[in-house]
Amino acid sequence: MKMENIRILLTYPVPEYLVQELEKRFTVFKFRDVASNPQLLGEISNSIRAIVGTSAWGADAGLIDALPKLEIVASYSVGFDKIDLVKCKERGITVTNTPDVLSDDVADCAIGLALATVRRICVCDRFVRGRKWKEGEFELTTKFHYTIRKTLMKSCKCDGGTKGHYSKFMSLNDLCLGAPLKVTRSGCSGGGISEKVHCVEEAIHLKSRGTYFDQKFSGKSVGIVGLGRIGSAIAKRAEAFGCKISYHSRSEKPESYYKFYPNLIDLATNCKILFVACALSKGTHHIVDRKVIDALGPKGIIVNIGRGALINEPELVSALLEGRLAGAGLDVFEHEPKVPEELLRLENVVLQPHVGSDTVETSIAMSDLVIKNLEAHFQNKPVLTPVI
C-alpha cells in the first residue's frame, strides 16, 4: 500500500534514525518548521493524519483541534502525559506508545543514578579532574565541609529560613595550624553562637575520628513507587545487590513477592532509597510531597526516572538544601530543560538531561515500534502497542 502521501507531523527532537525511517515511508513535516511558518501550517493542517510525539512534545487539545484529519498519535516514549487522551477518545484518535523496549535502559539508568548518588561517583570524578587528589584525600575534605555546615544550622538561634547557613570550606591543613574558622552566613539574625569555638571543637572531633562520607549501596532497603515494567526491572537489578525490595502501587500485585505498602508514606518510612517509576497522571501529580520526603528522612535518597511532576520539586530542593534528604538522582524535572539553579551547585545530587532510554540500541527499537504502529494503522491492522 502506498503511504508516501500520508502526511505526518513530527514533534522534536527525535533521533536521526527515526526521521530517516519516517521520511522513507511518509511525507513528514517537522513541527519546528511548521510552528514558525503559519502559512505552511494553514496549508497542511487539513491533511495531517498522524503525529509522532515524544516525552517533551505530545498532542494537546489545541493541536488536536487544529488537525481535523488526525487519526493516530504514535508517541516515541512510554509516557503519554503530554497527550490529551480525553480529546483523543472523543475524536476516535488512536494513541500508541513504546512500552517494554525501553524498560531495561530506564532501569539501568535508575540503578546507575542511585549508585552515582550514594557512592558519589560524579563528585569524585570532578574531584580528580579538578586535580585536587594531589592536595589531599577526598573524604577528609568533603566530610569536613558538610559537618561544619550541619553544626551551625543546629546551634544558631535565628530561624535560618530557607537560605540556611553556609560555611566556607577550610583545608584540613589550615585547621591543624590553628587558623580560626571563617564562616559566612546568610540570612542570620539571631546572633548565633561563638561559631569559632564550636567549629574548632567539631573539627578536632572530625580529625580524630577519621572520615568516610560515602554510604554503602549493597543491602540498602529499596522502595519502588510504581511496580510496572520499569519498576519491576529496577527491583530485579536491586535484588542482585542484596537490597530488600518493597513497593507502592495503585493496587497490590499478587504475582509479586515484594512487600506491598498501600500507603506511600509507609513505604518511604521503611526504605532508604526510593525509586519513582510510575506514570504521571492527575492521581500521581506531586505524589512525592513534603510528607513523603520527611518520612524518607535525612539519610534517604530519591531517584526519579518517571516524570518531574511526580515530585513536588520546590519541596525536594529545599529538603536537599536543608539536609532533610541525603541526596537525589534525577533524570526528569518539572520544567525540562530547566533545572532548579540550586541543584546545579549541590554535591549530593546527580543530574541527567532526561536520558533514561537514550541508548543507540533502544532508540532504534523504539523507532522501529513507532514505525510498526503507524504502518499497522494505515494498513487497517490492529496497532501493536495502543494506549487507547
Partner 1 sequence: MAEDHLPQVLVLRPPKCFTAYETQFSEKFHFLKAWESPLPTTDFLATHAASVEAILCNSFTPITADILHHLPSLKLIVTTSVGHDHINLPECRRRGISIADAGHVFSEDCADLAVGLLIDVLRKISAADRFVRAGLWPISGDYPLGSKLGGKRVGIVGLGSIGLGVAKRLEAFGCIISYNSRKEKANLPYRFYSNACELGANSDALVICCALNDETHHMINKEVMKALGKEGVIVNVGRGAIIDEKELVQCLVEGEIGGAGLDVFENEPDLPEELFTLDNVVLSPHLAVATPESLSGLFHLMMGNLEAYFSNKPLLSPLLDE
Q: Catalytic amino acids?
A: 307, 336, 354
Rule CB under 8 A: is residue 257 a binding residue for partner 1?
no
Q: Minimum Å distance from CB 286 to partner 1?
A: 22
Q: Minimum Å distance from CB 307 to partner 1?
A: 16
Q: Minimum Å distance from CB 33 to partner 1?
A: 16
For the record, the C-alpha cell of 344 comes out as 546545579
Number of residues that bind partner 1 (CB under 8 A): 60
Q: Which is nearer to partner 1, 50 or 349 (CB)?
A: 349
Residues within window 97-116 making contact with partner 1, judged by CB under 8 A:
104-105, 108-109, 111-113, 115-116
Rule CB under 8 A: is residue 15 a binding residue for partner 1?
yes
Tell me how far apart the alpha carbons of residues 332 and 288 are, in angstroms, rounded to a whole number: 14
Rule CB under 8 A: is residue 150 a binding residue for partner 1?
no
Q: Yes or no: say if 256 and 233 are a contact pair by the CB < 8 Å rule.
A: no
Q: Minimum Å distance from CB 319 to partner 1?
A: 20
Q: Which is nearer to partner 1, 89 or 132 (CB)?
A: 132
Q: Minimum Å distance from CB 323 to partner 1?
A: 17
- Annotate 191-251 with DSSP letters as a single string: ----HHHHHHHHHHHHHHH----PPP-TT-EEEEE--SHHHHHHHHHHHTTT-EEEEE-SS
Rule CB under 8 A: is residue 84 a binding residue for partner 1?
no
Rule CB under 8 A: is residue 350 a binding residue for partner 1?
yes
Q: What are the angstrom distances between the C-alpha of 124 and each of 139, 245, 281, 292, 296?
A: 9, 28, 37, 29, 25
Q: Which of 166, 359, 368, 372 binds partner 1 (CB under 8 A)?
A: 359
Residue with cell 526504605: 271
Alpha carbon 159 to its chain centroid, in Å, reads 31
State the SS3 of 120-153.
CHHHHHHHHHCCCHHHCCHHHHHHHHHHHHHHHH
In this structure, what are the phi and psi dihedrals at residue 385, rounded to the nearest 5 degrees? -135, 75
Rule CB under 8 A: is residue 36 a binding residue for partner 1?
no
Residues within window 193-232 making contact with partner 1, judged by CB under 8 A:
208-219
Q: Which of 85, 121, 384, 388 binds partner 1 (CB under 8 A)?
A: 121
Rule CB under 8 A: is residue 144 a binding residue for partner 1?
no
- Annotate 162-206 with DSSP letters as a single string: TT-B-PPP--HHHHHTTPPPP--BSS--S----HHHHHHHHHHHH
Residue 25's SS3 state is helix
Q: Which of 122, 153, 193, 388 binds partner 1 (CB under 8 A)?
A: 122
Rule CB under 8 A: is residue 191 a binding residue for partner 1?
no
Range in contact with partner 1 (rule: CB under 8 A) among 61-69, 294-302, 307-315, 331-339: 331-339
Rule CB under 8 A: is residue 2 a binding residue for partner 1?
no
Nearest to 218 by CA among 335, 114, 104, 138: 114
Q: Minimum Å distance from CB 106 to partner 1?
A: 11
Range in contact with partner 1 (rule: CB under 8 A) among 172-180, 298-306, 311-319, 355-363: 355-363
Residues 6+ apart with CB under 8 A from 30: 10, 12
Q: Which positions lie near partner 1, rule CB under 8 A?
A: 13, 15, 104-105, 108-109, 111-113, 115-116, 119, 121-122, 124-129, 131, 133-134, 137-139, 208-219, 236-237, 239-242, 336-339, 344, 350-353, 355, 358-363
